Structure 1
Amino acid sequence: MLADRRGRRISYLRISVTDRCNLRCRYCTGGIKKFISHDDILRYEELHGIIDTALDLGVSKVRLTGGEPFMRLGFPDFVRAVLARHPGIDLRVTTNATLLAPHLDSLRQAGLRRLNISLDTLDRERFAEITGRDLFDEVHGSILRALELGYDVKINAVGLRGINDDELPAFLELASEQPIDVRYIEFMPMGGCGRWGPDAVWPSEAILQRAMKIAPLEEVQDTDPTRGPARVYRIKGGKGRLGLISPLSGHICSICNRLRLTSDGRLRTCLFSDKEYRLRPILRHPKLGLPFAAEVMRRATLDKPIGEELLRARRETELVCSKGMLSIGG
Structure 2
Amino acid sequence: MNLNLSKGLIDNHGRKVDYLRLAVTDRCNLRCTYCMPAEGIAYLQEKQLLSWEEMSRLVNVLVGLGITKVRLTGGEPFLRKGIMEFLQEISKHPSLEICITSNGVLLGNYLEELNALGVRSINLSLDSLDPIRFHEITRRDEYEQVMASLHRMLDLNFKVKINAVVMKGKNEQDILALANFAKEYPVSVRFIEEMPFNGEGEKVETLNWLEIKDLLFQGFDHIFEIPMMMGDTAQRYQMEGFKGDVGIIAAHSRTFCGTCNRLRITAKGQVKTCLYDDGVFDLKTYLRSGVSDDELRNILINLNQKRPVDGFEAENNRKNTINESMTTIGG
TM-score (norm 1): 0.92
- State the partner residue of 1:211: 216
2:81 aligned to which of 58, 73, 98? 73
CA contact (8 A) 2:36 2:198 kept: no
Per the alignment, in what secondary structure is the counterpart of residue 182 of structure 1? strand
Amino acid at match of 1:231: Q
Amino acid at match of 1:208: K
Answer yes or no: is 1:321 the counterpart of 2:328: no
TM-superposed CA distance for 1:11, in Å, is 1.1
Aligned sequence identity (%): 36
CA contact (8 A) 2:202 2:323 kept: no
Answer yes or no: is 1:246 the counterpart of 2:250: yes
Unpaired stretches in structure 1, ≥5 consecutive residues:
none
Answer yes or no: is 1:40 the counterpart of 2:45: no
1:280-299 map, 5 Å: 280-286=284-290, 288-299=291-302
- Please give the alpha-carbon distance, in whole angstroms, between the structure 2 residues aligned to 1:251 and 1:64: 24
- State the partner residue of 2:4: none
1:156-175 map, 5 Å: 156-175=163-182
Answer yes or no: is 1:221 the counterpart of 2:233: no
1:105 aligned to which of 90, 94, 112? 112
- State the partner residue of 1:54: 62
Amino acid at match of 2:273: T
- State the partner residue of 1:277: 281
1:262 aligned to which of 256, 262, 266? 266
CA contact (8 A) 2:276 2:315 kept: no
- Please give the alpha-carbon distance, in whole angstroms, between the structure 2 residues aligned to 1:233 and 1:268: 30
Answer yes or no: is 1:63 the counterpart of 2:71: yes
Amino acid at match of 2:209: S
CA contact (8 A) 1:282 1:289 kept: no
- Please give the alpha-carbon distance, in whole angstroms, between the structure 2 residues aligned to 1:254 and 1:283: 31
Q: How many residues align?
A: 320
TM-superposed CA distance for 1:250, in Å, is 4.8
CA contact (8 A) 1:251 1:308 kept: no
Answer yes or no: is 1:309 the counterpart of 2:312: yes
- For residues 232-268 of structure 1, give each alpha carbon's deviation from its aligned partner in whole angstroms, at most 9, with x where no partner exists: 1112111011111002235211111111001111111
- State the partner residue of 2:207: 202
- Please give the alpha-carbon distance, in whole angstroms, between the structure 1 residues aligned to 2:211 and 2:253: 11
TM-superposed CA distance for 1:194, in Å, is 4.6
TM-superposed CA distance for 1:191, in Å, is 5.8
Aligned-residue CA RMSD (Å): 1.8
Structure 1 segments of 4 or more deviating over 6 A?
Answer: none
Per the alignment, in what secondary structure is the counterpart of residue 115 of structure 1? strand
Amino acid at match of 1:326: T
TM-score (norm 2): 0.92
TM-superposed CA distance for 1:282, in Å, is 2.0
